[in-house]
Amino acid sequence: MENIAWMAWTLPTAIFFGLLACTLAVMTWLAIAYPEAERVGVLRIPTTRGDRLFISLIMAAVIHLVWIGVVGTDTLATIPLGEESIDLSSLWLATVISLVSAVAIFRRV
Amino acid sequence: MDRTVNQKAWFLVLPVFLVVAFSAVLPLMTVVNYSMQDTFGNNQFFWNGVGWFKELLDPSTDLGGRFFASLWRNLFFSAVILAIEVPLGIVVALSMPRRGWSVAACLVIMALPLLIPWNVVGTIWQIFGRPDIGLLGYVLHKIGLNYNYVSNDLDAWATVIVMDVWHWTSLVALLCYAGLKSIPDAYYQAAQIDGASRWAVFKAIQLPKMNRVLLIAVLLRFMDSFMIYTEPFVVTGGGPGNSTTFVSIELVKIALGQFDLGKAAALSLVYNLIIIIVCWVFYTVMTNAGAERQPSKGVA
């Protein structure tokens, strides 16, 4: 662990990149198991699953940044956990919106 | 559109992917990690969540104010140089000779500025504009203009813009020239028979044929000017004050000048996101503009 101390890993960022790696692994498996054809959606451009994932990820980043800039990150609710408690930031709503938009993008674009 | 896409060929890219992983992906992951933390050096980090992003996207804070100011400045700079370089490049390409020995001479002269390294271009213009030993600065002073890029905002901007135009207009011109060269003579002959004016020839034949190279030129020039660092840094150092501090100069100031790794990481991620989005839009437009024309190409 000493060798990668400069990378300054934290649990949340590790989980984030872990999920990203899982997504890419699943997409790779999908591409091998179920080869696909390009299709033209609402954007009038031919897209593959990979393109749609890319658009979804970029959208998610934009949605989160806009949320931070416009709405902010006030605490939405507090979940009591014994003596401690976890504050639930309103940023999670942006995550929910991102997931919904990802579903929409995968179906419509 | 019933063509099946075989993605297995991507495995051939695996060696490159490994190299890129070390040179780009791991550093980028580190930047993401830094953007969530604060550090005072010595590899000690403190969790800050999305705090830096909050500051960055709020123009009333110091970080946000600097980010948005440099972003608008940079977009304005890109708009100005595109508005000058693209029409100028087209005009230069149109007036370049089509055949004969002068073609080679012209191409070499046009390519010269493109071969000069960025910091050398900066140094050339820095000296060129000095009133004591620079030709431009000296002449302007003799004429009676109080030109000084070190203390006057407008002069600094003019210098940086003229320098970029000097450095990169030939790229646009060469790309347009390549587009013009691909037009068969028959088009011009047909236009002549129809008695088309010079303007009509340009609008109906030359401009549509240059469409694609122009798109590439605009993309290249936009990205380059949006990421510009060395030239203005060498000439003006981002000054006077902050008047020519573009996003990348601001980024380096924060990251290396102040050693605020967290703030700099957040800024660079947003900067990167803007560049990725613009690239993707341009790339999509470019590839699809070509795809739509494909069927008609068979007829022509």
- Helix (H), strand (E), coil (C) string for B43-62: CCEEECCCHHHHHHCCCCCH
What does pLDDT average to over chain B?
88
Q: Residue written as tokens 């929409």?
A: A104
Is the previous residue joined to B240 through a cis bond, with omega within 30 degrees of 0?
Answer: yes
**Across the strands, what pairs with A46?**
A40
Q: Which amino acid is at A27?
A: M
Q: Give pLDDT tens digits for A8-64.
A: 888 989 999 999 999 999 998 888 888 888 888 888 888 888 899 999 999 999 999
Please determine, for residue B290, whether its predicted confidence score (pLDDT) is greater than 80: no
More reliable by pLDDT, B173 or B290:
B173
Please report where in the chains the tokens 């030239």 appear, as a residue: B231
Site of tokens 């340009």: B202
Q: Is A2 helix (H, G, I), strand (E, B) or coil?
A: helix
CA pair distance B226, B248, nearest whole angstrom: 8
CA atoms in the 13 A half-sphere facing the CB of B194:
13
What residues contact residue B38 under an 8 Å CB cut-off, 6+ apart? B45, B46, B48, B51, B52, B262
Rounded distance, CA B141 to CA B198, Å? 41
- pLDDT of amino acid B298: 40
Phi, psi at residue A75, to the nearest 5°? -75, 130
User: What pLDDT is stored for residue B1 in this prediction?
Assistant: 52
Q: What pTM value is reported for the model? A: 0.85
Cα atoms in the 13 Å half-sphere on the side-chain side of A21: 9
ipTM attached to this prediction: 0.89
Token pair recorded at residue B7: 């993605």
B58 CB near a chain A CB, below 8 Å? yes
Two structure tokens written together for B82:
């595109």
Does residue A39 sit at the B interface (CB-CB below 8 Å)? Answer: yes
Q: Do B273 and A31 touch (CB under 8 A)?
A: no
B81 contacts B168 by C-beta, under 8 angstroms: yes
% of chain B at pLDDT higher than 90: 48
What's the CA dihedral at A109, B1, B2, B3 to 10 degrees?
Answer: -100
Size of interface A-B (CB pairs under 8 A): 79
Residue type, B47: W
Model confidence band, residue B292 (pLDDT cutoffs 50, 70, 90): low
Residue B91 has pLDDT above 90, yes or no: yes
Pairwise CA distance, residues B68 & B57, whole Å: 8
Interface-testing mutation among B3, B4, B29, with chain A (most A C-beta atoms within 10 A): B29
Out of A5-14, B19-28, B161-170, the most confident range is B161-170
Q: Tell me the residue type at A39.
A: R
Q: State mean pLDDT over B144-166.
A: 91
Q: Which two tokens stand for residue B125?
A: 């213009």
Top residue of A3, A4, A10 to mutate, by most chain B CBs within 10 Å, is A10
Q: Does A82 touch chain B (CB under 8 A)?
A: no
Which residue blocks in B202-260 are alpha helix, DSSP H? 207-226, 230-235, 247-252
